[in-house]
Each structure stands twice: as C-alpha cells, then as structure tokens.
Structure 1
C-alpha cells in the first residue's frame, strides 16, 4: 500500500512539475502594438519657422472653427492656393514615402516637353522595370499610343506602365529621375528625393505634405495638367488584334473625391489632383477644390485611422475646415515661389502641337456616363485658368510657366 502511494505521488509530481514550470509562459503578456513613428524634432523651415516644428500648427483668430478631431495623418497641410498662405499644418516637412502622388512631379516635369499627338510604339521589354503589384492602365508591348493616351493612363488609373512608356520617350528612367529632382529643386520642394518616377516604393524616395502641395500648385498652372487630373472617365485604346479594328475600354479616375465611388461622396468643387497607395507609404492624397471663388489645396499622408478610405475623408474634413476658417486664421507659413521667380529667370516654354487639353465637365454639369461629380470652374475657365491675370493671383507674385 505504501509503495502504491509513493508511486502515485511520483506520477503526480512528474505531471505537475512540468506544468508549473510552463505556468509563467502561459501568463506572458500579449504582444504590444508597435509605436507610431515620431516626426523629427526639427524639420525644414522652407515656408516659415512654424512649419519646421513637429505637431499641429494653427493660429486661430476670432470666430475661427477648431480643427476637426478625426485627423490621423502622419503629415497634412491645408493652404490657400491663391495667396499661398498655409492655414494649418501637421508635421508639414516630415519626409515620407509619397506613393503615386509623386506622379504630380512627373507630370509637372514632362508635360511641357512631349507633344500630346506624338505616338509611341511600346517595345519588347520596355515595361520590364515596372514594379511587381503596380497599378496599371493596361498598355501592351508592340502597340502604339499617343502621349495624350498615356497621360490619361497616368492621371486616371495611376498607371506605372504609362509612366515608364513616357519616361522612355523622354530618354529613359535615369534621365527622367534626374530631371524630376531638378524640377523639385527649382520649385523649392527640398524634402523630395526621386528614385522611381512612378512613386513605387524605393529606398530613399521621399517627399512631404508641404512639397506635394507646392508641386500640385505648380502643376495646376498647366491647362493640360488641370484637365487630365479632373477627368472622371474616358476611353483608352485596347490591344489591336491582326485583321480587326482596334477597340477601346473605359477607365475611371481613382480619385474617390472626384468620382464619388465606394461610398465616398464626391466633394463639391473638387478639381483633382492625385491619390496614391503603397505598402510603405500607406495612403496619400493631394487635392484642390474651389468654393465661392476661393481655391484651397490639401495634402494628407499616411493616416493611421482604420476608417475605410480615411485619406479621402480626412482631406474632405480639412477642406471643409479651410473654407470655413478662411479669413479667420493667421497663416502659419506660406507656399514659396520657384527659385526662378526670385532670380527673374524666364520659365521654359512648353512644347505645343495645336491640340487642346482633355475635355472636362464644368461645375454643376455631369458628363455623359459620369458620376455627376461637380468639377470646379477652375478646370475649364474659372479660378485656376491662366486668364484675366488671375492664375491663383500667382501672376502678382512670380512668372508663370505657360501651358
């Protein structure tokens, strides 16, 4: 009997001791979420000292509304496109991955150089450098496309394949990247380093909310840029099969504030500009909108919110705030002019070929087959057009590159 008790005790000890040893492991704390990266303590002060400080910068005056609470972007800015005043900003000069918003700089650099009626035959292997998982418009090797076609692919579908075809027409990717960096320097977009012309994630490729806003402001002075980025949908050339007529297929703009797709309401007065998403950059967006004769620019980079399409919703909230706060806040900085404006250098004359820009619908009129999104008068003959000496009132401040 005693032997049986000893045996039973030995078995119990053999079972319980390992469990006791394993106890602490079972009670280990749950993995903690990674902390959000913090902006640098000091950043560029281009545009004003406050813009170089981390955190939110705003100077509310009497009657000014407070900023929206639902803002999670790592970096954002809202500015008056006419005066250049920065109404509010958050980590404006934080150098972050830009995703496809970098295509604005690509377009601002190349649009004046390539006649839009020029045709390009896509050669075998030309698209080999397009990154895996890229957004594509669907151009094919051994097919011809006009420059006009390719720009539609860039702006509406954010097609990296169209970017690489245009870069090939410009003398190659390396030359295009060099010229984009030179253009960024001319615009004083000094947070920007271009590695890939399409915005695809690349080591060392960065921009900032401030720079993207400068770039958008420059691009919107070009009539073709304005028209392309405000086009809701169009027909794109398909692949020509032997013995058959070449067909087309429809492409729609991926800017949700313009199209109103996927539950996002089209923003009243929206006139572009560009959205982007990559693994490293998260979601980014730069937009321009007009309301009651006032034109605002907004950029939001990498929101941390789990809200669906947060980048668009936060951009819309900032635009709403900006329109309500205009005239009731003191600027926290300014959008600086290009370097050539300070030296008196003449801006380059763009290549022209007699063709007009993309047809865009004026505000309040829906295109046939469109979502009915109102496109700001600025796009087709109003606030942003280079007429009547207005030009965002920029003509009063520096020479404008005609386009």
Structure 2
C-alpha cells in the first residue's frame, strides 16, 4: 500500500512539473508599459474613435494659454463653411488689436492700422504664429466685439460637450494681461480654464468637423508681408538649413495643432500626428520649458503608436452561438436569422487576447417580444436591437459622451419575411388548436400507465 501511495505521489509531481512547462511556454498578452509624463496634466486619444489611451490629471481645469485659439479657429471655420465669412473677405484692425500687436510681450506679426487684411491672412497668422491681434480682429469681425465672441465660444463648448470649460477671451492671454481691454462680461483677473480632457475633445471636434485645419497648422513657416515667421510647433518638419535648432524636434507624421504659453499656464501643447493611417491627439499642460512640452509630447505619441493597434474584435455578419434566429409571427417563414450589420473594430493594447471581449444581444422591445418573436412583414436588414460588447480589463473609456457606441453594433435580420395570407394563418391556428388537444390527450393516456 505504501508503494502504491509513493508511486501516485511521484506521478502527480511529474504531471505538475510538465504542466508548468507547458504553461510557461504560453506568452501572456502584452500590457502597455507604464508611462511617466513630466507635466501637470496630460491626455492621449485616438483621433478616429476618441478612445483614451493615457491620462494624467486630465479632469483638472487649468489655464491653457493660446491653445484656446482652437475654439476661435473652430468658430471662424464654421462661419466660413456656412457662408457668414469668406477667406477673401477683408477687414481692418481696431485700436485695441493694434495696441496688442505693438506689445512686444505678446506673439505678434506687426499689424498696421488702416490696412486691409483678408480673413485668410489673419487666420494663418493666428494658427501658425499664434498672433493675438489677428485673433482679436477675427473675433470682432465675426461677433462685433470680443465680449460677444466669448459668448459664442462658451455656447459652442456646451454644444460640443466639453466637460470643463470657461472661456474669457479669444486669445488665451490672461485677462490681467489685457489691462482695461478685457472682454465685456468677463472678470478682469479671469483666465481661460479647461481640463486636458476638454482640450482633447475640442481638438478632436476641430479635426473631425474641419479636417482641412491641418493644411494650415502643418505649415512650418509663415511668410507675412515678406517676414519669415517660424511656426511655434517645433515638431513640424522644419527645414534644417533654415531653422536648424527647430529641426531637431521633428516628429514623423506631425501636422498640428496648437501651442500655448503664459505665466499662469506654463508651456502647453496640443499635438496630432498620423502614422500608417492611425492618427493620435495628445495634450500636455503645465510643462516647465518649451523643449520639455515637445519632449513629453513625443513620449506620449510614441507610447500610443508603439503599444496600441486597431483590431476587428467581431466581423460583420457575426452570430452568437445558440442565438442565430428569431421566431416569426404571421410570416410566410417561421424563423429569420439575425446577424451584426457591421464589424466591431476597437483600439486596444497590442497582443491583447480577444477572449477578453464578451458579446450579448440586446433586443429592441418595440420590435422583438419577450418570447423572442418578431412580427411579419419586415424587410431584409430590419434592425431588431444591437450586440453589446464588454471588455474584461482596464479601460479608460472615450473622450466623447457617446463613446460607448463603439462597443455596440446594430443587429439586423438576414432576410425579409412577408406576411402570410389569412387562410394559412387560420390553418396554423387550427393545427395549433388540435395539436394542443392531441398533446393533452397524449399526456392523459400516459398517466394511465
């Protein structure tokens, strides 16, 4: 007996050892490495879906300096798109704008009084060289006064669903820097306060709604009336023979979007780059130096490009096992197959195991009964609900309030089913009636034996 026990113990140990070898050969799914960003606030998102890939204090509202000009850009591009402004339209600058332009403490291209400037010239000076006077001039042109323009900014922020925002001027300067010229309806010591999440959503919305914004933000140098002015975005492809210092910061695929610097905000930058068809948007706030904001942006973007990929979690036409069809009431066919209308594609860490995703059907109660029946007639592709996808792992969510929509796909019928005629329905009813009687009789007879 002792020998048998020892033999079993040895066999068990051998089995455990072999199992450990097998398990050890299965590589685990790679998790994205930890990332330390040396700024106060940061966020990284996928530009096509709004998926958040990284965040650091992204919900804390703080001054954002000239990154606020992205909202000014949005409103100007919207006005042009709707025909309220045109690129060729001309205007002259106000005394207030001239005073700002003449102040050497601010970014400026050196505007002149009594000179006609086109909207395109003003916009490029704002977007490329972060000029404050041209920004004010565009705000006054569109809304009459900067104070009225600020109202438009806050209204648009609400429409876009920015979670944290307070706009007090069009430029991003602190109101205290404007003296008595701070916009009407705002505080003399007010500042434009947004969270990194809000800035990212603003950039996401700007690129989504007006993608040609990148055609201008990607210009490395502005020629403004004969003066060559470098884009404050050092990560663009600056000509090393013209700007050798800036050229060292070049990041492949970089084409936007907006820098910002004030004493209150520190050094900020909203960047965007595209590689191999994948575009990312990054936001850094509160960096301690100009080079640092670009260095930390490079780290953020590298993190996104190197560690995430888009995969097809479920293909178009997917069917859950055991749930491939619904019963049809009053139809020429008694069943109809259901399937997903489109594929489910998600941005996920590279190497993730697809088994981490689960799917379930959620039927539309107005279309499908509690007995999982759908009533004829209906056409092919009739929506009967959706397939919801869940992820069993760490997830930072989406930048948009409707981001969860990416985790579901419409569930539709594979074919259409016509309503059958009254005679067939009657015969089915009769058949069902006698079928019930026969079942009852059969059950009764079984009970006799």
Both structures adopt the same fold (TM-score exceeding 0.5): yes
- In 1, Cα distance between equivalents of 2:154 and 2:231: 27
Determine the structure 2 residue equivalent to 1:189. 162
Could you tell me how far 1:204 is from its partner in structure 2? 4.1
The answer to whether the aligner puts 1:118 opposite 2:105 as a matched pair is no
* 1:363-382 mapped onto 2 (5 Å cutoff): none
Question: 5+ unaligned residues in a row in structure 1: which ranges?
Answer: 1-60, 238-247, 343-392, 398-403
Question: Which moves more between the two structures, 74-83 or 135-144?
Answer: 135-144
Q: Tell me by how many angstroms 1:124 deviates.
A: 4.0
Instruction: For residues 159-206 of structure 1, give each alpha carbon's deviation from its aligned partner in whole angstroms, at most 9, with x where no partner exists.
Output: 001101111211110111110111111111131101111000232420
Is structure 2 residue 44 aligned with structure 1 residue 78?
A: yes
Which residue is 1:67 aligned to?
34
Q: Does 1:109 align with 2:75?
A: yes
Q: Report if aligned partners of 2:97, 2:134 keep a CA contact under 8 Å in 1.
A: no
User: In the aligned structure 1, how far is the partner of 2:150 from the partner of 2:305?
Assistant: 36
- Compare the two structures and name the one with the higher helix fraction: 2
Maintained 8 Å contact 1:300/1:315: yes
Contact 2:260 2:269 in 1 (8 A): yes
Deviation at 1:132, TM superposition (A): 7.2
Task: Quote how far apart the aligned CAs of 1:259 are.
Answer: 4.2
Aligned equivalents of 1:110 and 1:217: distance in 2? 17
- The aligned runs of 1:122-201 (5 Å cut-off) are 122-128=93-99, 133-170=105-142, 171-201=144-174
In the alignment, is residue 94 of structure 1 matched against residue 60 of structure 2? yes
Q: Which moved more, 1:139-148 or 1:227-236?
A: 227-236
Query: Which structure 2 residues correspond to residues 148-297 of structure 1 after superposition, within 5 A?
Result: 148-170=120-142, 171-202=144-175, 203-221=190-208, 222-237=210-225, 248-260=226-238, 262=245, 264-297=248-281
Q: CA deviation at 1:129?
A: 5.9
SS of 2:217's equivalent in the other structure is helix
Shift of 1:249: 2.1
Cα distance in 2 for partners of 1:180, 1:207 equals 12
Deviations 1:313-344 (A, max 9, x none): 001101000111213175302011689xx9xx
Q: Which sits farther off after the overlay, 265-274 or 220-229?
A: 220-229
CA separation of 1:191 and 1:125: change in aligned 2, threshold 3 A: closer
| Separation in 2, partners of 1:124, 1:265 | 37
Matches within 5 A, 1:30-41: none
Structure ID, larger Rg: 2
Distance in 1, Cα, partners of 2:157 & 2:286? 21
Equivalent pair of 1:124/1:142 in contact (CA under 8 Å): no
Question: Partner of 1:111: helix, strand, or coil?
Answer: helix
SS in structure 2 opposite 1:68?
coil
Q: Relative contact order (C-alpha < 8 Å, sep 6+): which is higher?
A: 1
- For the 8 Å contact 2:62–2:193, the answer to whether it is kept is yes
Q: What is the CA RMSD across the aligned residues, in angstroms? A: 2.6
- Offset at residue 233 of structure 1 (A): 1.8
**Structure 1, 288-297 or 122-131: larger mean CA deviation:** 122-131
Residues 164 and 195 of structure 2 are in contact (CA less than 8 Å); yes or no, is this contact kept in structure 1? yes
TM-score relative to the length of structure 2: 0.56
Give me the whole-angstrom Cα distance separating, in 2, the residues matched to 1:303 and 1:269. Answer: 22
Residues 235 and 75 (structure 1), Cα distance of their counterparts in 2 relative to 1, 3 Å cut: same
Structure with the larger strand share? 2
In the alignment, does 2:307 pair up with 1:325?
Answer: yes
Question: CA–CA distance in 1 between the matches of 2:75 and 2:281?
Answer: 20
| Distance 1:81-1:282 versus aligned 2 partners, 3 A rule | same
Structure 1 residue 102: deviation in Å? 0.6
Instruction: Give distance in 1, aligned partners of 2:64 and 2:94.
Output: 29
State the shift of 1:133 in Å: 1.9
Q: Displacement, 1:83?
A: 1.6
